C-alpha cells in the first residue's frame, strides 16, 4: 500500500497512526540505530520519519539503507534541504512552509528538489508544514528565518491549513519543533481538523502518553514522536498499544 493511501485510509476510519522521528545527529552508532529501529518496529510504529532541521555531522554510512535492510516499516524523509533526498527511502514529505513567508522554504528549495525527485522512485507527499510556537524558539524556526504561529491562535492555524488545502497539498503537518516545551494545543488540532478534509500530522513536545491521547482525541491522524522515543524505548510500544 502506498504511504498516502495508508494515511488517508486511517483517517477515514478514525485511526491514529504513529511515526517515529529519527534525527541522524542523535545516532551514536550503527548498533544504536538498529536498537532504535527494532524497538520501534516491535512496538508497532507505522512509519519512520528520517531527518532533522540541522544535520551537523557527515555520515559515512547510509543510515536509511541500514534501516531498509532490517525493517519493513516504510521510511519517509523529513527534509530541511534538497541535500537530504535519498533514494533508499520509500517516500518524502515534499514540504512547503506555509506558516512562514520565506520564499526559500515556500517554493525555492522545492524547485531545486523537483528534478531530482522526478528521477527518483520516491513517493512524493505534498505537505503543508506549519511551525507552531510551543515555547523557546526552535532550530527549525531559526533556520527557516520565519515566525511560528502563536500557540493560542487556532484560527490562524486553521485558515492557513485551509489555504494549503486549496493549493492542492495532500497532508497538513503541525509541528512544535524538536525539543518543544509543550505540545500543540488539542484545541488547535481540533480546529484545523474541522476546517480541512485532508490528514493532519502533529509533532513536537509529545513526551507523555496522556498528551498523545489528547491530541489523538482532538483529531490528529498521525502523531510524530522524536525525543520521547529516544529517551524512553518503551514510549512507542506503550503509545501504539494505547492507540489500538
Answer whether residue 11 is part of any domain. no
Answer whether residue 152 is part of any domain. yes
With b meaning 16 or more CB within 10 Å and e meaning fewer, what string describes 159-196? ebbbebbeeebbbbbbbbbbebeebbbbebbbbbbebb
Answer whether residue 121 is part of any domain. yes
How confident is the model at residue 60, as a pLDDT?
62
Answer whether residue 88 is part of any domain. yes
Task: Say if pTM beats, i.e. exceeds, 0.85.
Answer: yes
**102-113 confidence digits (pLDDT tens):** 999 999 999 999
Cell of 214: 489528547
Strand 17-22 relative to strand 47-50, pairing:
parallel
46: which strand partners? Answer: none
Answer whether residue 221 is part of any domain. yes
φ and ψ at residue 179, rounded to 5 degrees: 75, 20
**133-156 confidence digits (pLDDT tens):** 998 888 888 889 999 999 999 999
Answer whether residue 63 is part of any domain. no
Cell of 2: 502506498
pLDDT in tens, the chain (244 residues): 999 999 999 999 999 999 999 999 889 899 999 999 999 999 999 999 999 766 555 566 899 999 999 999 999 999 999 999 999 999 999 999 999 999 999 999 999 999 999 999 999 999 999 999 998 888 888 889 999 999 999 999 999 999 999 999 999 999 998 778 899 999 999 999 999 999 999 999 999 999 999 999 999 999 999 989 888 888 999 998 887 7
Task: Tell me the residue range of the domain where 103 lies.
Answer: 73-243
Tally of domains within the chain: 1
Answer whether residue 61 is part of any domain. no
Answer whether residue 170 is part of any domain. yes
* CA-based radius of gyration for the chain: 16
200: which strand partners? Answer: 172
What CATH number corresponds to the domain at position 97?
3.20.20.390
What is the DSSP track for 24-91? Answer: GGG---HHHHHHHHHHHHHHT-SEEEE--S------SS-HHHHHHHH--S-EEE--SSGGG--TTSSE
CA angle, residues 35, 22, 157, in degrees to nearest 5: 145
Distance of alpha carbon 36 from alpha carbon 107, whole angstroms:
33
Amino acid at each position: 500500500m502506498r504511504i498516502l493511501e495508508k494515511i488517508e485510509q486511517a483517517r477515514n476510519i478514525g485511526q491514529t497512526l504513529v511515526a517515529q522521528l529519527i534525527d541522524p545527529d542523535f545516532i551514536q552508532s550503527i548498533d544504536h540505530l538498529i536498537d532504535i529501529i527494532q524497538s520501534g518496529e516491535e512496538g508497532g510504529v507505522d512509519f519512520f520519519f528520517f531527518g532533522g532541521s540541522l544535520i551537523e555531522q557527515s555520515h559515512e554510512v547510509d543510515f536509511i539503507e541500514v534501516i531498509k535492510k532490517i525493517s519493513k516499516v516504510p521510511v519517509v524523509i523529513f527534509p530541511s534541504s534538497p541535500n537530504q533526498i535519498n533514494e533508499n527511502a520509500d517516500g518524502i514529505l515534499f514540504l512547503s512552509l506555509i506558516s512562514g513567508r520565506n520564499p526559500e522554504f515556500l517554493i525555492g528549495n522545492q524547485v531545486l528538489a523537483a528534478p531530482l525527485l522526478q528521477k527518483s522512485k520516491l513517493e512524493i507527499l505534498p505537505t503543508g508544514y506549519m511551525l507552531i510556537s510551543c515555547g523557546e524558539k526552535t532550530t527549525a524556526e531559526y533556520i527557516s528565518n520565519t515566525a511560528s504561529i502563536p500557540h493560542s491562535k487556532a484560527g490562524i492555524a486553521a485558515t492557513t491549513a485551509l489555504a494549503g488545502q486549496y493549493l492542492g497539498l495532500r497532508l497538513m503537518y503541525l509541528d512544535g519543533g524538536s525539543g518543544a516545551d509543550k505540545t500543540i494545543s488539542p484545541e488547535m488540532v481540533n480546529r484545523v481538523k474541522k476546517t480541512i478534509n485532508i490528514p493532519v500530522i502533529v509533532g513536537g513536545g509529545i513526551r507523555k502518553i496522556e498528551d498523545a491521547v489528547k491530541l489523538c482525541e482532538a483529531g490528529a491522524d498521525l502523531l510524530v514522536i522524536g525525543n520521547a522515543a529516544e529517551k524512553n524505548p518503551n514510549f512507542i510500544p506503550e503509545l501504539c498499544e494505547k492507540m489500538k
